[in-house]
A and B are shown apart, each in its own frame.
Chain A
Amino acid sequence: MSDASVSGEDEILEMFFDEGFVPHAFVDILLSNAANKDISQVQATSSSLLSRFDFYTKNLTKELEMTIQKLEKLSETLPGTWTVKMDAADN
């Protein structure tokens, strides 16, 4: 898989590509670690993370759209039987 176009060197983004990543656990640890610190600092860190997530969402959505377009183009050139095989591959 080539995710280089969106991920680059970004460690936080890599994290989401990890199969074992659980959003709840991540937020839980993030906030628990911050609990001993100043509340306003926690808010600042969380806010900047949130804007980063928005940025990821934008890029990932764009890439997903492009991938789907590619799939649609390919399906036009394929023989009619491919959908059946796709289902088999899916299972």
Chain B
Amino acid sequence: YLDMSYKRLQEVLEPYEKAQKLQNVLSKVHQTSILLRDALIYIHLVNSIKVINESNQQLNSQMALELASLHSQLESGINQSANLKSLRLIKKFDIDVVGPSSKELLNYLSTELNRVCSDTNNLNANRENVVVLLKALHSFSLQEFANTVHRIVLSHVQASVQALIKTINFVKNFPPAMEIAVKRGYTISFVQSLLRDIKSDNTNFLNEYTSQMKPKPLTPREFYWKQVATSFKKDLDISYKRGGPVGKALQRSREFIEQTIRKTMVNSTDNADYEADMQTMLNSVSVLSTEMH
């Protein structure tokens, strides 16, 4: 019985081993196939980047959008396959083509977006361009998108704060400085509405940007006015508390300053919802209604 059983076992073992072998071979063909296919897609994308970069054409926003999409596809391909990343050809492409191209692209996008958004007078005319640049930056990297928009907001904050602080000693110049702050605030409000109008998955660019803001999820507009008000208040408080002729002049001008804020803030946005931002600015001069020591 044992002998016969052994023979039977042999009959089973042979196909069993064959099945194991075949499964092993199939798995290796499959792995090779997948890796080669991923690499081929990567090569194709790198090639497309090369074609654009070697076209001898000055980079424009439309090209940048195309490049950004190619880079984001490369990125997701690499993230999905650790094996792909470690191929020597891919590493070589990363150093020779992908790295330099993505650096150049990011530099172009942030510089260009910053330039267009600083030009407060022509922003509306550049509307389409801004949208394309924002889309490109967003597809390139959510983090870089948020960083760049944030830097743009900060640069407007800085310019407005500078203009306002200069008027502490010359209250007469407060209205034109406030006009500057409002104009820049309007620009931020304009960019914010562009962001809100660009849909992304189930949300929009504005929500995505705002959710990246730390520590509090503030909109660009909220952030802008809070920052402007906070910095202005700091300097104003110091000058006022110091007293002297400057403090006295500020005290006498309290009504004038508040009226200026009320009058100008109306123009800080196309929407009628400027009340909250106006209140933020009025709070920044609240020290003027306290006793001067």
- Interface on A for B, CB 8 Å cutoff? 1, 16-17, 21, 23-24, 26-28, 30-32, 34-35, 39, 42-43, 46-47, 49-50, 53-54, 56-57, 60-61, 63-64, 67-68, 70-71, 74-75, 78-79, 81-82, 85-86, 89
Specify which chain A residues have a CB less than 8 angstroms from the CB of B17 in the assembled complex: 1
Does B37 interact with chain A (Cβ within 8 Å)?
Answer: yes
Residue tally, chain B, CB below 8 Å to A: 37
Contacts A32-B88, A32-B89, A75-B12; A57 near B40 (Cβ below 8 A): no
Contacts A35-B89, A57-B26, A82-B8; A50 near B33 (Cβ below 8 A): yes
Which of B12, B35, B88 interacts with A78 by CB under 8 Å?
B12
B40 in contact with A64 (CB, 8 Å) = no
A86 in contact with B16 (CB, 8 Å) = yes
- Closest Cβ of chain A: how far from B290's Cβ, in Å? 73
Interface residues of B in 216-238 (CB under 8 A from A): none
Which of A16, A63, A82 interacts with B28 by CB under 8 Å?
A16
B39 in contact with A82 (CB, 8 Å) = no
- Closest Cβ of chain B: how far from A33's Cβ, in Å? 9
Contacts A31-B88, A35-B89, A49-B36; A67 near B22 (Cβ below 8 A): yes
Closest to B44 in A: A43
Q: How far is the CA of A21 from the CA of B40 in the complex (A)?
A: 21
Specify which chain A residues have a CB less than 8 angstroms from the CB of B87 in the assembled complex: 24, 27-28, 31-32
Specify which chain B residues have a CB less than 8 angstroms from the CB of A75 in the assembled complex: 12
Specify which chain B residues have a CB less than 8 angstroms from the CB of A79 in the assembled complex: 5, 8
A47 in contact with B40 (CB, 8 Å) = yes
- Interface on B for A, CB 8 Å cutoff? 5, 8-9, 11-13, 15-19, 21-23, 25-26, 28-33, 35-37, 39-40, 43-44, 47, 83, 86-90, 92
A27 in contact with B32 (CB, 8 Å) = yes
A67 in contact with B15 (CB, 8 Å) = yes
B88 in contact with A24 (CB, 8 Å) = no
Q: How far is the CA of A54 from the CA of B19 in the complex (A)?
A: 19
Q: How far is the CA of A61 from the CA of B83 in the complex (A)?
A: 25
- Closest Cβ of chain B: how far from A53's Cβ, in Å? 4
Contacts A46-B40, A64-B22, A71-B15; A28 near B33 (Cβ below 8 A): no
Can you name 18 extra interface pairs (CB under 8 A) apart from A43-B44, A60-B29, A70-B15?
A16-B25, A21-B28, A27-B39, A28-B87, A28-B88, A31-B90, A35-B89, A35-B92, A43-B43, A50-B40, A56-B29, A57-B30, A67-B18, A74-B15, A78-B8, A78-B12, A82-B12, A89-B9
A53 in contact with B9 (CB, 8 Å) = no
10 nearest A-B pairs in the assembled complex, by CB-CB distance: A31-B89, A23-B31, A23-B32, A53-B33, A64-B22, A67-B19, A32-B88, A16-B25, A27-B35, A60-B26
- Closest Cβ of chain B: how far from A46's Cβ, in Å? 5
B29 in contact with A53 (CB, 8 Å) = yes
